[in-house]
Amino acid sequence: MTAAHRSQALQPVYVLHARPYRETSLLVEAFARDAGRIALVARGARRPRSAVRGLLLPFQPLSLSWFGKGELRTLKQAEWQGGQLPLTGSALMCGFYLNELLLRLLPRDDPHPALFGHYQTALMALGHQQPQAPVLRRFEKALLQELGYALMLEHEAQGDVPIDPNAFYVYEPERGPVRRTAGEGGVQLRGRTLLDLARDDYSDPVTLAQAKQLMRMLIAHQLGSDALQTRQLLMDLQEL
């Protein structure tokens, strides 16, 4: 029996999505610190007297335990940990965007404890009403790195040439930044933008705008033809 399939003791978990399952249960997609993305059935969770009724909600720090050998495990125990301010308004939509990224891009049963920490940090920042765009950019960058697509930000794709902050580049998804003149097509990036991204410094409005374009392109490259529903909604609201 593999580590992903044996009975799991209580561990930190966030619910990414939950929906009704059969008459009284819930089918839960969750992100566990030590197990990655998992699917759980919470039996009887919709019954009025259920101990977990109203507990299995997104964006709330939980401790869950479960058991089972197949892809769909059974929830055994759930405890609320607290400490997370509620997400409201556009911050709530940003939270759903993060969840959709994890649901669409993170393989099942693939532990990513560092990414779990980045997700937790992003939720805390959104709950404290910090500027949302930098929060999303940092998480997107961390997610791509955890999936094996770390951004090349300090050297050009051709050779080991350091990025020139005063030059212009086009970022090619399978290669990295390629030097271009300012008049050429593609997602244009200043060298300074790339270096700011390497430091997670989004204080320059130009860097922030170009980082949004770059991340949108790279995530679309990973998704293929499937568009993110929450991204489109956030774009409609001019929040992303």
Domain edges within the chain: 8-80, 89-236
Total H helices, total E strands in the chain: 6, 8
The yes-or-no answer to whether 8-80 and 89-236 have a common fold is: no
Beta bridge partners of 29: 17, 39
pLDDT at site 1: 40
Architecture of domain 8-80 in this structure: Beta Barrel (2.40)
Architecture of domain 89-236 in this structure: Up-down Bundle (1.20)
Strand duo 25-32 + 72-80: pairing:
unpaired
pLDDT at site 184: 59
pLDDT at site 2: 46
pLDDT at site 233: 65
* Close Cβ partners of 190 (under 8 Å, ≥ 6 residues apart): 165, 166, 167, 168, 169, 206, 207, 210
Distance CA 171, CA 163 (A): 12
- 41 CB neighbour count, 10 Å cutoff: 17
Residue type, 233: L
* Backbone dihedral angles phi then psi of residue 208, each to the nearest 5 degrees: -60, -45
Where the chain has pLDDT below 50, the residues are 1-5, 239-240
